[in-house]
Amino acid sequence: MYVRVAQLRTWIGGRPLTNASGFFFQHDKFLYLVTARHVVIDQATRHFPDRLLVSLHKDAANLPQRNDLSVPLYHKGVPQWFQHPRFGRADVVAIAINDPHALSEHFVDTFNAADIVGSDQTLPLGQQVFILGFPLGFHDTFNNLPIVRSATIASSFSHPFKNEPYFLTDCRLHRGMSGSPVIYRPDPAPGAAPNTAPNWRLLGIHTSALDVSDRDPSQDERLALNMTWYASLLPEILPQ
């Protein structure tokens, strides 16, 4: 799970811009890097990077040995990412990894469609989840591994919040976590053999913290609530 998540650094030309998080997803034998859309383009802040630098491992047996993968965001002016064709507000993109040596020269693991939890599934009240990423760029720099934050689902998972395809999590997060996967492990089925917990499942993509416009900073702390877009959007985003 740790090596499915990678630190992203946005660049324009030779100038670094911001830090973010992302994870790998395999679909129809093609490799994609999933992150928040505002990581690759954000009109509001005039953030227009032209490439990502992705920090990866080179060898499973030697985690400190790392390789950087440069991912161009445009080819002849054409964006190399896919976004949802109908939900324009969905802050999620899947970037095509067109380097044919990406998997052979780097040690990565991927999510796939079988890992996704559909938005119609009911989860227990206050379900605990984990969010993996790089808050403010902070991480295990020696082993090149992300930080794991514990959170709870703060809205009804099976009822999209405000009828939009996202749900809320309760956790104090930071910049740099945008694009982090939100995961959980279901309880073992009744009668299952010991030590046979189900695989980790992908619930969504964390993109941003939420706040209210009339909050008084002198009296009220931040909500510590976050927006997570459903992972079930990914098959709709990716080309068929």
Both 59 and 164 in a single domain?
no
Both 167 and 209 in a single domain?
yes
Report how far residue 186's alpha carbon sits from residue 217's, in angstroms, rounded to the nearest whole number.
38
Domain residues for 101? 2-111
Q: What are phi and psi of 204, to 5 degrees?
A: -175, -170
Backbone conformation region of residue 132, classed left if phi is above 0, alpha if psi is from -120 to 50, else beta: beta
CATH at 12: 2.40.10.10
Domain boundary among 89, 111, 133: 111
pLDDT in tens, 14-51: 899 999 999 999 998 888 999 999 999 988 889 899 99
Give all strands of the β-sheet with 30-35 in edge-to-edge order: 66-72, 51-57, 5-12, 15-27, 30-35, 93-96, 81-83
Ranges assigned E (strand) in 73-216: 74-75, 78-79, 81-83, 93-96, 128-133, 147-153, 166-170, 181-184, 201-210
Report how far residue 180's alpha carbon sits from residue 53's, in angstroms, rounded to the nearest whole number.
16
Number of domains in the chain: 2
pLDDT in tens, 95-148: 998 877 777 778 888 899 989 988 888 888 889 999 999 998 888 888 888 989
Both 191 and 219 in a single domain?
yes
Q: What are phi and psi of 198, to 5 degrees?
A: -60, 165
Both 30 and 68 in a single domain?
yes
One-letter amino acid at 36 equals A
pTM above 0.75, yes or no: yes
Maximum CA pair distance of the chain? 57
- pLDDT confidence of residue 189: 65
